Structure 1
Amino acid sequence: MGARTKARRRAIDLLFEAEQRQLNASELLRERLATPVTEVPLNEFTADLVTGVVGHWTQINDLLTTYSQGWSLERMPAVDRAILRLGAYEVLFSEVPEAVAISEAVALAKELSTDDSPKFVNGLLARLAEVKPTLV
């Protein structure tokens, strides 16, 4: 697993934990940067990803809700929400190529979520990439 893939996985872990504990992800990130809970401290890319997701939180949630076709955010598995938020941030707002962002999100869904999640994640993020020129 490459360094950026590991950083994405750690960003998903933080986003998921923050939601489960009903904490602000930025506050949890600051806490983990100040006092790491693992042997390896969070790297800059992980921090940038979490900060980026939080910075576009409302817009990302609105777009996921709009384009998820019959699935509200609340109905999605919590880990899928974290993966989709990160994937949407990378597809829409980062310098990461869209195909890479989608591929990484699908791989995380295969590893962390249900059997149906990779297809759902792929379809929703591909749709966001498709409509991106009209959004940003």
Structure 2
Amino acid sequence: MARTTQRRRALDVLFEADEKDLLSADLLIELLEERQLVSTAQVPIGDFGSQIVRAYAGDMLNVDTLIEAASEDWALDRMNTVDRSILRLGAAELSVLLTKRAAVVTEWADIARELSTDRSVGFVMGVLNKVADIRERETQN
């Protein structure tokens, strides 16, 4: 299954968790396991999408801290749910799964273009690139 589709399914799960206030690691994993069996989407979440959600669930605090550091003047709670969820999953891919920057930034920006506002695309690209810069600096030391 295409990685783009799996990123969208991961976004579905995280968006649902955020909307239902299920953003603890245990509740998020529980929802993910439900969505591996029953999904509102035509294509259920598969292995890669599940990996992304698990990456975020396993390191929520660090991922959120990275996003806050990279998104000057924009606290997570001020972002709309779609953008916040995109950034969380993209940052988890960069910092936990160590997916290459070009793939992550491009794919998540395209998803933002499709599901959020025009202004969100540049915002998502800028924040994810800064997250990647921060991670690169951390791993060089």
Decide: shared fold, TM above 0.5.
yes
Superposition pairs for residues 112-127 of structure 1, below 5 Å?
112-127=115-130
Length-normalised TM-score, structure 1: 0.91
What residue number does 2:64 align with?
Answer: 61
Q: Is the 8 Å Cα contact of residues 91 and 97 (structure 1) preserved in structure 2? A: yes
The offset of 1:26, in angstroms, is: 1.1
Unaligned residue ranges in structure 1 (runs of 5+) = none
Find the aligned partners of 2:137 and 2:16 in 1 and give their Cα distance.
Answer: 32
Find the aligned partners of 1:129 and 1:83 in 2 and give their Cα distance.
Answer: 15
Q: 1:56-78: CA deviations, max 9, x gaps?
A: 11101111112211001000011
Identity of aligned residues (%): 39
Find the aligned partners of 1:117 and 1:11 in 2 and give their Cα distance.
Answer: 18
Displacement over 6 Å in runs of 4+: none
Structure possessing the higher relative contact order (Cα contacts under 8 Å, 6 or more residues apart): 2
- The letter of the residue matching 2:19 is Q
Q: Matched residue pairs, number? A: 135
What residue number does 2:20 align with?
Answer: 21
What residue number does 2:9 align with?
Answer: 10
Task: Say which SS state the counterpart of residue 22 (structure 1) adopts.
Answer: coil
- The letter of the residue matching 2:11 is I
Evaluate the alpha carbon distance shift between residue 134 and residue 17 of structure 1 in structure 2; reply closer, same or farther with a 3 A threshold: same
Two-structure CA RMSD over aligned residues (Å): 1.6
Q: 1:15-42: CA deviations, max 9, x gaps?
A: 0001101123211011222444455432
Length-normalised TM-score, structure 2: 0.88
